[in-house]
Structure 1
């Protein structure tokens, strides 16, 4: 399809931002994502903007609602945005990506990881976060390396959770591991603990919503002396945010999760981290860095061409906060993809909760 006409106006270049800022969306993730976008907008504008025009960021709250996200894409396209940025929830990003590609509107997905972000190969959609199959295989490698081969996963119905379970099962099976699925629709927290004992699981992965039932499951397992040896994991990244430890206290520490940061930031990343920390009044999550890098990439894309072509992603190379960003086509991935951002498995230190320990690097 022909791209939508770009109306940058006389004085600004408009970029639409899709961000979860209200429940049931993960509001804290949305706040960090928007902080990164906003910081980069200010810095790009301070350096002259895009071809002399400042960026105007137009924000829409998706509230983790796919229909709301698709409607926002239509609205923003009608307002003449030059490109779209953002979104955290994979299922929501799918709806936005499909609509943006149909309209011929460049969309750089910052955080969502679902491999099948679009049903068909998409020319107008690119992704900054790693594909789920890439990151979750690294997580499975961590589990095997730590001696865990009998894995239980607590699940809820979702394309995202189902995809994660399949990736883990396939990858662990090839290394002598097994996965048993425990459906939280039929198992309360106490009953799930009984299942863990029966199956002799050594690790429980939380593939469920937050704060509930994730928080109740953590408390139940931590409170059951029969399960003192069981590792609790959260590959989707919930413990990254301060809200997690504020809710769970010591029970929320030592729960490994995936985060998309290098072991050590370079000078550029350190500078941006300090600015994000000041803006957020707390340590920035990897999602804040994703927001910042997303805006940098879109600024470079639009500097090259105010109305980018369908293959414009392949022409963009940007030095981001976490490394050099470039896009390519990857097997099994329907969008243009940065292959790959840094991936680490980390947890919160049980003795100092605001300190992270890097347990494994992919």
Structure 2
């Protein structure tokens, strides 16, 4: 390992959900990817001979806490910001970073409207929600699901997802019925699915509550034996779903942002992440690794502009442009899959659809 003097470190502020009500497992995977890439950048000589240092702050899925962390990190002199998983938190980070003129590369939040207006200092690796969720809608229709119920909680992210699904399915004769999980319990939700003659239920809710009680109720209702449960936001990607009793976490199609086959870099990083995490890395861990790889290139560049960045990432060559309707610099696009945990072996993920 190359030893570099710490007093000359180039600092990156990392914003990650590491405590509840944030999705802690997603945060753990994101941080593992960020840390692995920092170690590799430093092993290769750092940034112009200076070590890269990660300054981590827990957002706990709280936009106000995250915005305060941005101000703190700016005062500490970080050269850039990285991370975040929750879209509502990433919006707060993006707004504050752009106002301060501090580069922010969003790792994993997908909400299209990440900023209220075009932002010069903000870029994103994750694909926009409208892109990924339209692909999920294509999958639903291809599998014969035209009548869909969504179990939803109040959130700008979930509301955006419902709108995307409703537009994509409605354009081809499908329908989406929203059930507010703030007003009904899982048993009543089962009645709603039956009443609307839906063939698919989508989980647009928090994890583990109320997502897991909903899965348990639907799987235990004989009236719904033929109903597919889906989770476009990607909850079943994480290993804790493989450990659910009676295989309840399997057979639930979700979105993830990986190619059908990883290249040599992706395979090497996959092995290193698996060793760090003790489980198979989720797509979020790869997003974390790619975030630091991009920021290292940006910080080495004399002009430090997103438009000039081109980096070999774990999932393809990453560059940024202005995508229509999206106010940040965007990688167009990360690969998208619809996958599920195999009911015959829940620790194994099988791919159902790629784009």
The TM-score range, normalised by the shorter chain, is over 0.9
Unaligned runs of 5+ in 2: none
Asked if 1:95 is matched to 2:85, the reply is no
Which residue matches 2:46?
49
In structure 2, relative to structure 1, the CA distance for the partners of 1:254 and 1:304 (3 Å cut) is same
Partner residue of 2:228 out of 213, 228, 231? 231
Partner residue of 2:28 out of 28, 31, 38? 31
Which residue matches 1:119?
116
Which residue matches 2:167?
170
Question: Contact 1:153/1:205 (CA < 8 Å) preserved in 2?
Answer: yes
Which residue matches 1:12?
9
In the TM superposition, what whole-angstrom CA distance separates every residue of 1:146-166 from its partner, at most 9, and x where no partner exists? 000000000110000000000
In the TM superposition, what whole-angstrom CA distance separates every residue of 1:223-244 from its partner, at most 9, and x where no partner exists? 0111011000000000000122
Alignment of 1:276-295 (within 5 A): 276-295=273-292
Alignment of 1:121-200 (within 5 A): 121-200=118-197
* Alpha-carbon distance in 2 for matches of 1:297, 1:230: 42
Which residue matches 1:218?
215
Q: With the length of structure 2 as denominator, give the TM-score of the two structures.
A: 0.97
* Alpha-carbon distance in 2 for matches of 1:198, 1:57: 52
* Alpha-carbon distance in 1 for matches of 2:242, 2:187: 22
Q: Which stretch shifts more, 10-19 or 250-259? A: 10-19
* Alpha-carbon distance in 1 for matches of 2:249, 2:10: 43
Which residue matches 2:312?
319
Asked if 1:209 is matched to 2:202, the reply is no
Q: With the length of structure 1 as denominator, give the TM-score of the two structures.
A: 0.95
In the TM superposition, what whole-angstrom CA distance separates every residue of 1:52-74 from its partner, at most 9, and x where no partner exists? 10101100000000000000000
CA-based RMSD: 1.2
Partner residue of 2:72 out of 71, 75, 89? 75
In the TM superposition, what whole-angstrom CA distance separates every residue of 1:313-354 from its partner, at most 9, and x where no partner exists? 000000000000000000111100000000000000001111
Question: Contact 1:215/1:248 (CA < 8 Å) preserved in 2?
Answer: no
In the TM superposition, what whole-angstrom CA distance separates every residue of 1:192-244 from its partner, at most 9, and x where no partner exists? 10111110000000001111111111011100111011000000000000122
Partner residue of 1:356 out of 340, 343, 349? 349
Structure 1 runs, 4 residues or longer, greater than 6 Å off: none
Count of matched residue positions in the alignment of Structure 1 and Structure 2: 351
* Alpha-carbon distance in 2 for matches of 1:276, 1:130: 22
In structure 2, relative to structure 1, the CA distance for the partners of 1:121 and 1:249 (3 Å cut) is farther
